[in-house]
Amino acid sequence: MFGYITLNKPEMKVKNLEVYQACYCGLCHELQHRFGVKAQLLLSYDCTFLILLLDGVYEPEEAERSVRCLRHPIVRHRETVSRFTPYAADMNVLLGYLKAADDWKDERKPAARLMLRAYAKDYRKLKSLWPRQEKAIRKAVADLGRLESVPVPEEKDEILRRLDQAAACTGRFLAEVCAPRNDLWAEDLRGTGFYLGKFIYILDAWDDREKDRKSGSYNLLAALEAAEPEHAEEIVKEVLCDMAARCCRSFERLPIVKNVEILRNILYSGIWVRFNERSV
C-alpha cells in the first residue's frame, strides 16, 4: 500500500502544501511519541491522507506547534495534530507490522523478521485497541495469500476476474481503516477506502510486473501483458479509471469543506502520478 496515496505537487497551491506538510510532520512526531524513533521509519504519505480525510469529515480541533526535529535540527517548522493523528499513527504501525508478517511468511526477508521482533509488543497493544481494523487487515492478507497460491491464469477474462478478487482484499481492509467509527459517514468513508484500496493493489501490480516476471513472483498483470501485449496498458488504465471514479463518487458524498482542495488533488491527480510516469 505504502507510497501511492500522495500529492501531485506541481498542481498544489503553496498554502495547501504547507497544510499538508504540517500534517505530515505531526504524524512523524506522533509515531515517535507513541512507538519510539524506530517508528518514524514507517512514516507514510498514505496515513497523512487518512488524517486529512478524517479531519475533513469531522473537523476536530487542531493543535499547532513550531518545532525542530532530527531532520530539521536548525530551522523550526510547523506541525499540526488532531485527535485523528494518534489513530493514523496506530494504523501506520499496524499496516507496517502485518505487511512485514506477510513478507516474512512468503519471502523470509530478514528485515521483515527484525521488524516483527521490534514491534511485537506494540502490535499486541494495537490489536487490543483496534480489533476491527486489525482483523480486517489480517484477514485480507490471509485471503490474498490464498488467492496467490493458485496458478496464474492465461486467459484475459479470467485474469481480470482474479485481479478484481485480489484487489478487493486490499479494498476491504482499507475500507475499515478509513472508518474509525460506525456512524452516519462510515458507509462513504468505507466506499472511499474500498475503491482506493483496489486502485492501489492494481497500480502496485502494474508497477511490479517486470520485476515479478523476472523473479517468477505472482503478478496477474504480468500475465495480462503476456496475453495482451499491445492492449495491456489500455486495459489496466480503464480498470484504474473505474476504481478511481467509484472512489471519488463516495468521497464527494462526504460533507468535506476543510482540506477538500488537498484531498481532491490526491484523489483526482496524485494517485495517478506513478502510473503516468511509467506511461511516458
Side-chain-side CA neighbours of 81 within 13 Å: the count stands at 17
DSSP 154-188: -SHHHHHHHHHHHHHHHHHHHHHHT-SS-STTHHH
* Domain count for the chain: 1
In a domain, 4, yes or no: no
pLDDT greater than 90 at residue 68: no
Q: Which of 25-34, 103-112, 159-168 has the lowest mean pLDDT?
A: 103-112
Residue 163 within a domain:
yes
256 — pLDDT class (breaks 50, 70, 90): very high
Does residue 179 belong to any structural domain of this protein?
A: yes
- pLDDT reported for residue 92: 96
Assess if residue 2 is contained within a domain: no
CATH number of the domain enclosing 52: 1.10.600.10
Is residue 1 predicted with pLDDT exceeding 90?
A: no
CA distances to 90, 115, 258, 270 from 18, in Å: 24, 32, 14, 16
Mean pLDDT of 188-206: 97
Looking at residues 236-245, what average pLDDT do you find?
98
Q: Tell me, yes or no, whether 222 lies in a domain.
A: yes
Q: Is residue 176 part of a domain?
A: yes
Is 1 among the domain residues? no
Range of the domain at 40: 9-279
Its pTM stands at 0.94
* Banded model confidence at residue 135, pLDDT cuts 50, 70, 90: very high
Percent of the chain clearing pLDDT 90 (strictly above) = 83
Within a domain: residue 18? yes
Q: What is the mean pLDDT of the chain?
A: 93
Residue 248, CA atoms < 13 Å, CB-side half-sphere: 16
Residue 228, sorted as left (phi over 0), alpha (psi -120 to 50) or beta, turns out to be beta
